[in-house]
Structure 1
Amino acid sequence: MVTFDARDAGTSQAVWRSDPRLDSLGDLHLDRFDRVVVVSAHPDDETLGAGGLIAECALRSIEVSVIVVTDGCASHPESPTFDRETLARWREAEVREAVAILAPHAPVRTLAFEDGNLDASVPATRDAVALAVGTGSGDAVLLVAPWRGDGHHDHEIVGRIAAEVASSSGCSLAEYPIWMWHWANPNDPTVPWNDLASLHLSPLSLEAKTTAVAAHRSQVEPLSEQPDDEAVLRSDFLEHFTRSAEIFVVSSPVAHREPPLTTLPAAYFEKTYDLHADPWGFTDRWYEERKRALTVASLPRPRYGYGLEIGCSIGVLTQELAARCDRLLAVDISEAAIARARERLVETPNVELQVQDVGKDFPPGSFDLVVLSEVGYYFSPERLDAVLHDIEGSLTPEGTLVACHWRYPVGDYLQSGDGVHGRIAANRSWHRISKHEEKDFVLEVFTLDGRSVAEETGLR
């Protein structure tokens, strides 16, 4: 087995990032699984190696549970201020706090076997993992555990147990390296490049992981200023776990080439609204207030009979559009967003609010106005094309399409704002009658008949 000292400086994150193979790994797709079981050898392994995965499960409404095998009492064996029992209790509290940050409803089972003496508890550990996975679970369950080749004895034991359970139950297995990033380098022959898969983390999941790592205070901060109470995890080592993707070893075809997402799922937005009442600052940012004013001012007609707003969020723009429409249908994929929009628009009777995923079920009717504001990049290019086709079919001959989108790249969006507008403009049925472009956003107005305001009102 590899030997290393966690107190020494290891291979830097910059060295690993410089290897182009990290950016060309196959994808680990979670959406094929109904249930995920994460096993860690010590309290903090689950957060470092699979914290983003746990958060992604919560975000996507995938059932996830965590098993922590040892009590972690051996992290500071010579500490002059904390005995092993006290440290074990502290670390259990930390792991429960961390998992609650990642996935608030995920159950955590701590087996509390003595850290450093795991060989004596292999049968009991195997039974606990097998019970969590279930018999005959098949491909619907993903078991996640430390990588057997990580160079740490406890990680090897827990990883080997997980592999045995996966083989007997038929579930899928993904193993997370932790110390490999420290003692190995990209050209080390022990790095299993051919078996590595990457899980992209949304900004929300990465933020949750960062907060959860900090919750393991006994490991990332000194216990005291006394000798032998130093932080166990060096700051340069922790940089390996700030990536926007987590890397797993998947020796079987877990999910390298699943079809990509065509629409960000409803759970993504529900999680967003759980964390923030107004996630994008519609009510208090001048940027948003000004953009709304420009959007409403760009409408080429003073009044519309029946309008459709796709992705209405909490109803701030909806309120202003309602003043220009006899009737307005405002839809959003998020139940939480629609609930808040109802509160805002309780005295706006000409607005109908509806929970709807227009990528799967476009609302029926003929609309004089369709507003697609800050939502097009949540669709894949192919799904957006289908939505645009539905918009075209639903618009009256004199109807208006307004599109407005943020122009900067966002990691979890399925395309860019400029890409959205490029696909609209590529459809020869649409005629652009106005365009407002800034560094931050682009706002365009399209019609089917191509008439300008002057032409429509008889000035020209």
Structure 2
Amino acid sequence: MVSFDAREPGTSVATWRSDPRWATLPAPRPLDPAIVPAVAEPDAPGAFDLVDASGPVVVLAAHPDDETLGAGSLIAQLVRQGRAVTVVVVTDGAASHPRSTSTPAGSLRELRLAEARAALDELVDPAGLGAPIELVALGVADGGLREARDVVRRQLADLLAERRPVLVLAPWRGDGHRDHRVLGEVAAELVGGDGSALPDARLLEYPIWMWHWGGPDHPDVPWDAFVRVDGDEEVGLAKQRALARYSSQVLPLSDRPGDEAVLRPDFVEHFVGGAEVFVEAPAPEPAPASVPADTLAPSFDATHARRDDPWGVTTRWYERRKRALVLASLPDERLGRVLEIGCSIGVVTEQLALRADSVLAVDVSSVAVGRARERLAAQPHVRVEVADVSAGLPRGDHALDLVVLGEVGYYLSPEALGALLVDVDRVLAPGGSLVACHWRHGADDFAQGGDEVHEALAAWARDAGLTRVVGHVEEDFLLDVFSRDPRSVASRTGLR
């Protein structure tokens, strides 16, 4: 999980460009001739090139300015080739200055939409020889895309069905911003995958905040999926003019506190010039029928599809040390019957299996479950299943000796977490324990913070008659063990 502060300096352009891979990034694959409208010279070189081909293009932006930052040069090239381009701005951008005393949200909403129109006007051919750019604003509240996901998905499905684009540009799902992630996931559901509304269209995702929080050696940077579209000086200058139209973002609203520029000059430097980098990533696998469509399954499927080990649990010392602490905190050497909630690729499961009579490991992601099953194939006493615990635990589970709540509690609303804990109380055997560990710094897709999760766990434990037998506090994570058996390890093993 990525967290960042846009107010602080990020990775410099020089650091990114110093990596030798930068100079060898490939161009996107040509478009499929079967979906591109007939061209005058179909045998000419580049007839089905991403830019030179014919056919409509739709650009999805989570906020006004995303389209220009991430794809402004490509948009300028496309309209100069006569391509029909529709830019869909999903949110109103009114949350960019939450502490402003000079510009209320209503005024900022109107300003940012006007800036978007002015920016797109800068991207068209000044000689009037190219195509105009259509702007569609959905008006979702800035920061509220996750809550409006189903409505936005329906609106975009209708728009795409009407425009029938051969190419769709959208924010990269791994960008580290919640609105970007949700819109990227919706785009991946609708474009370029089996069962999608446009299975033959091409989806390219543009990173924005990755250039800030990432770096050439960051484990979440998808070098193997990068493609680069080069543009000439003319389209590069058009993009610069377009960015300048977003004065509310690149300049202070006023000299008052809370009106500071949102985009630092050293961050904007990443988007200067005609070349742009996109991610050509596969669409996420569809969620299995047993998992409700309104869960986090698509998000976690996409995360696991991008990387074999998305959080570096096998490689990062932080993760290996934390795992050792969790396992050492369990008060019983033999674990009996274990339920692990949020098993991901099964690394913790593998260690639990060494001490357990049986383990049921569950995860909402079918991609993660598939990897965990491969890892644990030689363990006959371990089952790994797809399950959505926000809908509660299966009624057949009972008399569990240990419930492991991995770092999933903060993805649940307080109400869903409370309902899950009611089920845990129902299935936990006399003498049984619950262990929970959570990151404390938050992320854009959390429903609540790690501290709030552990406060809820402590309150539940008190009401359910469990004792906190282990409490471990660090700056980065919390680790708690609650048990129906209040005895210490020394007491359990006869040392006192």
Shorter-normalised TM-score: what interval? 0.5 to 0.7
Distance (whole Å) between structure 2 residues aligned to residue 446 and residue 235 of structure 1: 59
Deviation at 1:402, TM superposition (A): 0.4
- Structure 2 unaligned regions, length at least 5: 1-5, 8-34, 40-44, 63-75, 88-111, 125-130, 140-153, 158-176, 186-203, 212-225, 251-261, 264-291
2:439 alignment counterpart? 406
Q: Does 1:450 align with 2:483?
A: no
Distance (whole Å) between structure 2 residues aligned to residue 117 and residue 329 of structure 1: 56
Cα deviation, 1:292-342, whole Å, max 9, x if unaligned, reads 111111110111221100011111100100111111111111111111111
Q: Does 1:441 align with 2:477?
A: yes
Does the 8 A contact of 1:332 with 1:357 survive in 2?
Answer: yes
Deviation at 1:271, TM superposition (A): 0.4
Does the 8 A contact of 2:51 with 2:78 survive in 1?
Answer: no
Deviation at 1:200, TM superposition (A): 2.4
Task: Identify the range of structure 1 (331-340 vs 361-370) with the bigger mean alpha-carbon deviation.
Answer: 361-370
2:329 alignment counterpart? 298
Q: So what's the TM-score if we normalise by structure 1?
A: 0.53
**Residues 270-419 of structure 1: pairs in structure 2 closer than 5 A:** 270-363=301-394, 364-366=396-398, 367-419=400-452
Deviation at 1:237, TM superposition (A): 2.1
Does the 8 A contact of 1:295 with 1:443 survive in 2?
Answer: yes
Does the 8 A contact of 1:315 with 1:341 survive in 2?
Answer: yes
Distance 1:414 1:92, change over 3 A: farther
Which one-letter code corresponds to 1:91 in the other structure? V
Distance (whole Å) between structure 1 residues aligned to residue 47 and residue 238 of structure 2: 13
Q: Does 1:231 align with 2:237?
A: yes
Distance 1:419 1:95, change over 3 A: farther
Distance (whole Å) between structure 1 residues aligned to residue 155 and residue 183 of structure 2: 26
Does the 8 A contact of 2:436 with 2:479 survive in 1?
Answer: yes
Distance (whole Å) between structure 1 residues aligned to residue 446 and residue 138 of structure 2: 34
2:181 alignment counterpart? 202
Q: Cα RMSD over matched residues? A: 5.2
Does the 8 A contact of 2:439 with 2:477 survive in 1?
Answer: yes
Does the 8 A contact of 1:203 with 1:412 survive in 2?
Answer: no
Q: How many residues align?
A: 299
Task: Choose which of 51, 55, 58 in structure 2 pairs with 1:91.
Answer: 51
Does the 8 A contact of 2:295 with 2:388 survive in 1?
Answer: no
Q: So what's the TM-score if we normalise by structure 2?
A: 0.49
1:194 alignment counterpart? none
Distance (whole Å) between structure 2 residues aligned to residue 156 and residue 229 of structure 1: 15
Report the secondary structure of 1:443's partner residue.
strand
1:50 alignment counterpart? none
Distance (whole Å) between structure 1 residues aligned to residue 52 and residue 294 of structure 2: 38
- Which has the higher relative contact order, 1 or 2, with Cα contacts under 8 A spaced 6 or more apart? 1
Distance (whole Å) between structure 1 residues aligned to residue 471 and residue 48 of structure 2: 62
1:158 alignment counterpart? 134
Does the 8 A contact of 1:94 with 1:217 survive in 2?
Answer: no
Which one-letter code corresponds to 1:338 in the other structure? V
Distance (whole Å) between structure 2 residues aligned to residue 97 and residue 328 of structure 1: 49
Deviation at 1:442, TM superposition (A): 1.2
Distance 1:384 1:94, change over 3 A: farther
- What percentage of residue pairs aligned between the two structures are identical? 40
Distance 1:162 1:311, change over 3 A: closer
Larger radius of gyration, structure 1 or 2? 1
Deviation at 1:150, TM superposition (A): 1.7
Does the 8 A contact of 1:399 with 1:448 survive in 2?
Answer: yes
